[in-house]
Amino acid sequence: MRPDFLSFSPPSLGDAERAEVADTLSSDWITTGPKTKAFEAKLSAYLGAPGMVALNSCTAGLHVGLVALGIRPGDEVIVPSMTFAATANVVEHVGARPVLVDVCPDTLNLDPEAAARAISPQTRAIIPVHYAGHPVDLDSVFALAREHELEVMEDAAHALPARYKGTMVGSRSNLAAFSFYATKNLTTIEGGCLTGDPELVDKARIIGHHGMNRDAWKRFDKSGSWYYEVVLPGFKYNMTDVQAAIGLHQLERLAGFQWRRREIVTAYSKGFGDLPAIQTPVERPEVESSWHLYVIRLRLEQLRINRNTFIEELKRRNIGTSVHYLPVHMHPFYRDKYGYKPGDCPVASDAFSRMLTLPLHPGLSDRDVQDVVEAVRDVIAKFEA
C-alpha cells in the first residue's frame, strides 16, 4: 500500500502561472481587463469559436446563455439527468422547467431517443452534456432540434479539448459553455466561458456584466469613458485578469496535459481489462474525448460489497476517488418538486449505484497510476463473490 494519500484531482499549476498572476497583481488592472481579453482571443482561436466571452464559471455561461436565447417561464428545456445539478439549476433560474431524461448505457451522455420522447409543445431547448469529456451524439441532437425548432446549448464543462467527428467542441454557432474550475483539464481556479454566434455571445457578455453596454469594462482605462448605460438587468459573471493570467499559461500547456491524460487512461484500461467486476469507460470511434474523468462502473453481482464500501476500501489504501454524479432526478429539490422517481431514468440510476471516479490528472506519476491499479485489483480480489 502506498504510504501517502493520492488526491483525486489537484490542479497542475507551474511557475509560469504564478509569475503571470504576480505580474497582474503588480499592475493597475486585476479585474476584467487586457489579460481577460487576451485569454478570450487565444482560447477562441484554439477552439475555432466564432465568438467567446470569458466568465466566472460554466454555470454563469449556461445561465446567460439561456437568457440570451430568450428562455422564459412556461418553457421547457431538456436536460440529461446524469450531470452536475447546475445544468438543471440554471433552467430553474430563468423560470423554465428542466425536463430530465435518461442517458446512453455506454457513454452516459444524453439519449437522443429519450430526448425525443420528452418533447412537448412547451419545449424550447436541449442542453446536451458532454459527460466526462466524451462528446454527445451531436448529429442526432441537432437533427432533433431542427425537426422541432429547438435551441441547442452544449454543456461542455468537461469537454476541453474534445472533438466530435473531427470538429472541436465549442467551434459551432450554437452556444456552448465550458468550465475552468480547479479540477478541470484547464483551470483558472474558478472560471468558464461561453462560445457561439458572435451576436448571441455579445448579448451574453452584456447580460453577464450587469447589463452594461459594450466595453463598459474600459471605463477606468485611459482609452475609456466614465459613461455607461445599463440596457437590461444583468448579472455579475465577468472573469478577472487574475483568473485569465492563469488561463493563458494553462492553455499553452494543454496539449501536454492531454497527452499525459491519454497515457493514464491507456494504463488504466489495460490494468482493468481482465477484471469482469469492472466496466471501464468507452470512447466511441467518431470522437476524441477530453478524458476529463475516468469513471468505472462495478458489476456488483460479482462482488460482496457495494459501491460505497468499495470507495472506503480504496481510501484505506490511500487512493482518493469521487462519484460523478448523483443523478439530478434523485436530488430532493427535483424529486419533490416534479415527482421524479429513480425508475424514471433507469440507466442513470443504475450507473450511479455502481460508479466511482478514479484519479486522473497530468500530475500522476507512473508509480501513482500503478498504485491505483493495484489498489483496485486488491479490493476486487478481497471481495469478489
pLDDT in tens, 70-96: 999 999 999 999 999 999 999 999 999
Q: Which is the catalytic residue, given 184, 203, 236, 270?
A: 184
Residues contacting residue 126 through CB under 8 Å, at least 6 positions apart: 77, 78, 110, 115, 141, 144, 145, 150, 151, 152, 153
Q: Distance between CA 201 and CA 207 in Å, rounded?
A: 10
Q: Is residue 356's pLDDT more than 60? A: yes
pLDDT tens digits along 187-239: 999 999 999 999 999 999 999 999 987 665 565 566 666 677 888 999 999 99
Give the number of other CB atoms < 10 A from CB of residue 143: 13
Closest among 153, 181, 149 to 91, alpha carbons compared: 153
The predicted pLDDT at position 262 comes to: 98
335 C-beta neighbours (distance < 10 Å), count: 15
Neighbours of 166 (CB within 10 A): 8
pLDDT of residue 162: 98
Given a cut of 90, is residue 377 above it in pLDDT?
yes
Work out the average pLDDT over 91-105: 98
pLDDT band at 243 (very low <50, low <70, confident <90, very high): very high
Query: What local confidence, expressed as pLDDT, does residue 229 receive?
Result: 85
Helix (H) or strand (E) holding 375: helix 366-383
- State residue 268 phi and psi, 5-degree precision: -65, -50
Distance in angstroms (rounded) separating the CA atoms of residues 172 and 273? 36
Nearest in space to 107 (alpha carbons), one of 83, 82, 131, 142: 131
The predicted model scores a pTM of 0.96
Which residues are bridge partners to 52 per DSSP? 195
Cα-to-chain-centroid distance, residue 160: 8
Average pLDDT for the chain: 96
Distance between CA 377 and CA 7 in Å, rounded? Answer: 19
Per-residue pLDDT band at 1 (split at 50, 70, 90): confident
Q: Which domains does the chain have, with CATH numbers?
A: 15-250 (3.40.640.10), 254-383 (3.90.1150.10)
Distance CA 20, CA 17 (A): 5
Distance separating alpha carbons of residues 201 and 334, to the nearest angstrom: 30
Pairing relationship of beta strands 294-298 and 278-279 according to DSSP bridges: antiparallel
Tell me the angle at which helices 241-272 and 366-383 cross, rounded to the nearest 10 degrees: 50
> DSSP letter string over 168-190?
ETT-SSSEEEEE--TTSSS--SS
- Please give the grid coordinates belonging to residue 357: 471516479
Confidence band, pLDDT 50/70/90 cuts, at residue 296: very high
Three-class SS state of 23: helix
Query: Cα dihedral sign for 272, 273, 275, 280?
Result: positive
Grid cell listed for 43: 482560447
How far apart CA 108 and CA 93 sit, in angstroms, is 25
Give the integer Cα–Cα distance in Å for 377 and 374.
5
Please say if 203 is a catalytic residue: no
240's grid cell = 478577472
Task: Give the span between the Cα atoms of 52 and 33, in whole angstroms.
Answer: 15
Give the largest Cα separation in the chain, rounded: 72
Mention every residue, 6+ apart, whose C-beta is less than 8 A from residue 149: none
Q: 7-11, 107-111, 155-159, 381-385 — which is least confidently predicted?
A: 7-11
- Is residue 192 within 8 A of residue 178, CB to CB? The reply is yes
